[in-house]
Amino acid sequence: MTRFGFVALVGRPNVGKSTLLNHILGFKLSITSRKPQTTRHRVLGIWTEGDVQLAFVDTPGMHTDQPKAMNRMMNQTAEQALKGVDAVAMLTEGTRWTDLDERVYQKLAQVECPKFWVINKVDQLADKNELLPHIEQVIQTHSFDEVFPLSALRNINLDPLISILQKAVPEGPFLYDSEQITDRSERFLAAEIVREQIMRQLGDEVPYETTVEIETFERSDDRVGIHALISVEREGQKAILVGESGGRLKQIGTEARIRLEDLLDAKVALKLWVKVRASWSNDERALKSLGYAEFD
């Protein structure tokens, strides 16, 4: 008998949800950076082994209420992803339990399914002896089925988590082909790869007011042609993104092309250009056209 279930990965920004998903899959599906709120969309990662299939739902980090429409939609996406799942893994980091962690936990309290606490980045703890007292303190007032200290980045202690998740999901047929890794299109993944390079290469302000649209995606034989439009909100941001004599944009394109060729297993001709689209991140109509409003 096969087993299948949806597993939501939730937590505040920058606790390593996307890194955990990528290492479970053995494939870089979700983009990552050191900046919070790198993940903006729900991304489904499909793990199949033997007679078990787990569909992991990687979500934007739940964060404090902010006035911009994009932030509201990201929170909505994260909260809606909890509906109908068969198990939830809540990520925190090290020996921290912040007000935002508490806010995420309160959302989980409304979900009736097995809940697992994943304490990520334990390899970074200066004093490992602080971990057990931290766990004991938290579980006095918070209910989890099991606790898993691990390091997603270092692949430490992932197997016990995967093992218990396989047992937590119900019996039933696979929902996806056993070779499928995600429900997202190559077009979507291409846009995310370009955005990842923007997040990694630019300063603190510009990436958050930047979005990427794939205007053309054409595959022929072993070549793929991609035209990507990068939107920013102000002329000054465009200047930073393009860089002196176009140098920064060229570097972003070069790094993104390397990743795309690996993903698509083909030669990629990538063209990028930048335009100013004032206040796109606070315009609900613009956000829906860009695919941010996944739930109404």
Work out whether strand 223-232 and strand 211-220 pair parallel, antiparallel, or are unpaired.
antiparallel
Res 201: pLDDT:
86
Joined together, the tokens standing for residue 215 give: 């205007």
Domain boundaries defined on the chain: 3-168, 186-289
Res 110: pLDDT:
81
What would the CATH number be for the domain defined by 186-289?
A: 3.30.300.20
Q: How far is CA 120 from CA 33, 94, 146, 156, in A?
A: 16, 6, 14, 10
Res 295: pLDDT:
40
Res 29: pLDDT:
84
Provide the sign of the torsion angle of the four alpha carbons 168, 173, 174, 175, taken in this order.
negative
Looking at the domain covering 3-168, what would its CATH class be?
alpha beta
Res 239: pLDDT:
92
Work out whether strand 43-49 and strand 267-276 pair parallel, antiparallel, or are unpaired.
unpaired
Beta carbons of 26 and 63 less than 8 angstroms apart = no
Res 199: pLDDT:
86
Beta carbons of 50 and 1 less than 8 angstroms apart = no
Do the first three CATH levels of 3-168 and 186-289 match, i.e. the same topology?
no
Nearest to 109 by CA among 94, 96, 90, 92: 90
Provide the residue-wise pLDDT of the chain in tens; the chain has 296 residues. Answer: 999 999 999 998 889 998 999 999 998 887 676 665 566 667 889 999 999 999 998 876 664 555 566 666 666 666 677 788 999 999 999 999 999 999 999 988 888 999 999 999 999 999 999 999 999 999 999 999 999 999 999 999 999 999 999 999 999 999 999 999 998 899 989 999 998 899 888 866 666 778 899 999 999 988 999 999 999 988 999 999 999 999 999 999 999 999 999 999 999 999 999 999 887 777 777 777 766 655 43
Res 59: pLDDT:
76
